[in-house]
């Protein structure tokens, strides 16, 4: 994008990615430097698995670190393809379908209610009647930011042969851990919970996530994957970040305060802009819709103007099946960055250059 806009990457404000805007703790940076020239990582990732297990109060054999959540989705999809047809809520994250395609897995979409605020028994009204064996669910949901309770999601575990729950953004939600499905894994062999450290710590380049499921399933996944799925630098950073539950909790609380404060501020500022309707969100991103007199209008010219004239990147939501060009997603930034976004949007919207969506 910087090459296309003929600017340096440092001039861009990337609000298309939903990452925390804080610097990585010093202990993690030191750990990365120390192991950068190690010959090989621990293939069993024993120390990292122990750190993750202690964090969630589970046994290490219930944990499998991966090369980002994306790698783990691939193995979850292989299981899903063997179990049967997968139900994919729409709008939703496109990587689930990508993973299923690796194994020629069958899937069918399930359109979520337009309000996106219903509990699962209402959000998935036809689930009991559809011919699907597997459910992929994201909590909080991406891209809408809808957040569901553990009690409500547990009902779905009794309805499907396999449930893949993506909790990549859950640690960023205030009181989010209280609704995690991880405590249910020991009781439900049909449950897989996938987490990512990318969003919480802003380490997208390291590729580090983990799955929590019953040991038999994870042992099978371990046989399918490459010999070195997690490199030594990622493993060392993960250990440095999670070794102390107290420091990890302090970081999580800091991030959750930022999510709550910036989310409330952005909601208020966006609602005051002409033709912009922000949707409720529990996560560190907001879905917005172009709407005038109750009718949608395309936000693509606005997105492009923000890129060209202001060096601001927002998420084009047309990659989410079920969303058209009237939708954009904004990842929270620092207050300074968020002010820059609102100021630029106000300038562009005041020019009234944007036609209604066709």
In a domain, 358, yes or no: no
What CATH number did the domain enclosing 120 receive? 3.40.640.10
Q: Of 243, 273, 288, which marks where a domain is finished?
A: 243
Residue-level pLDDT at 40:
81
For the segment 275-312, what is each residue's pLDDT rounded down to a tens digit?
999 999 999 999 999 998 889 999 999 999 999 999 99
**Based on the domain organization, do 68 and 194 belong to the same domain?**
yes
Q: Of 243, 263, 296, which marks where a domain is finished?
A: 243
> Cβ(349)–Cβ(273) under 8 Å?
yes
**Based on the domain organization, do 167 and 54 belong to the same domain?**
yes
**Based on the domain organization, do 104 and 228 belong to the same domain?**
yes
Going from the C-alpha of 9 to that of each of 67, 335, 336, the distances in angstroms are: 25, 20, 18
**Based on the domain organization, do 58 and 207 belong to the same domain?**
yes
**Based on the domain organization, do 49 and 105 belong to the same domain?**
yes
For the segment 6-20, what is each residue's pLDDT rounded down to a tens digit?
999 999 999 999 999
**Based on the domain organization, do 181 and 319 belong to the same domain?**
no
119 vs 148: CA distance, rounded Å: 7
For the segment 211-232, what is each residue's pLDDT rounded down to a tens digit?
999 999 999 999 999 988 999 9
Residue-level pLDDT at 131:
79
Is the pTM value of this prediction over 0.95?
no
131 vs 77: CA distance, rounded Å: 17
**Based on the domain organization, do 274 and 225 belong to the same domain?**
no
Name the residue range of residue 321's domain.
2-18+248-350
Q: Of 185, 209, 243, which marks where a domain is finished?
A: 243
**Based on the domain organization, do 234 and 128 belong to the same domain?**
yes
Q: How many domains does the chain have?
A: 2
What CATH number did the domain enclosing 334 receive? 3.90.1150.10
């Amino acid at each position: 994008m910087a090459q296309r806009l003929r600017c340096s990457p440092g001039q861009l404000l990337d609000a298309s990615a939903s990452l925390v805007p804080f610097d990585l703790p010093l202990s993690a940076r030191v750990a990365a430097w120390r192991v950068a020239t190690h010959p090989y990582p621990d293939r069993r990732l024993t120390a990292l698995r122990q750190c993750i297990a202690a964090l969630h109060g589970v046994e290490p054999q219930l944990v499998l670190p991966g090369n980002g959540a994306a790698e783990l989705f691939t193995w979850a999809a292989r299981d899903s393809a063997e179990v049967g047809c997968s139900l994919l809520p729409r709008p939703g994250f496109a990587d689930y379908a990508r993973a299923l395609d690796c194994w020629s897995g069958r899937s069918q979409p399930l359109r979520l209610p337009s309000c996106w605020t219903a509990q699962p028994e209402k959000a998935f009204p036809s689930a009991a009647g559809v011919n699907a064996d597997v459910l992929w669910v994201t909590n909080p949901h991406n891209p809408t930011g809808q957040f569901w309770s553990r009690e409500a999601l547990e009902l779905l575990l009794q309805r499907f042969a396999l449930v893949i729950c993506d909790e990549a953004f859950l640690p960023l939600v205030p009181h989010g851990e209280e609704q995690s499905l991880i405590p249910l894994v020991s009781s439900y062999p049909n449950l897989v919970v996938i987490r990512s450290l990318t969003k919480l710590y802003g380490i997208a380049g390291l590729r580090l996530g983990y799955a929590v499921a019953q040991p038999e399933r994870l042992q099978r996944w371990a046989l399918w994957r490459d010999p070195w799925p997690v490199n030594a630098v990622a493993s060392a950073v993960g250990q440095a970040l999670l070794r102390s539950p107290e420091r990890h909790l302090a970081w999580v609380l800091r991030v959750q305060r930022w999510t709550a404060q910036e989310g409330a501020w952005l909601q208020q500022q966006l609602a005051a802009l002409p033709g912009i309707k922000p949707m409720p969100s529990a996560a560190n991103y907001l879905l917005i819709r172009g709407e005038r007199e109750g009718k949608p209008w395309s936000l693509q010219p606005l997105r492009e103007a923000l890129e060209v004239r202001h060096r601001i990147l927002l998420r084009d939501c047309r990659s989410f099946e079920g969303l058209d060009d009237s939708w954009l997603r904004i990842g929270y930034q620092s207050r300074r960055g968020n002010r820059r976004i609102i100021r630029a949007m106000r300038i562009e919207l005041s020019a009234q250059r944007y036609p209604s969506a066709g």
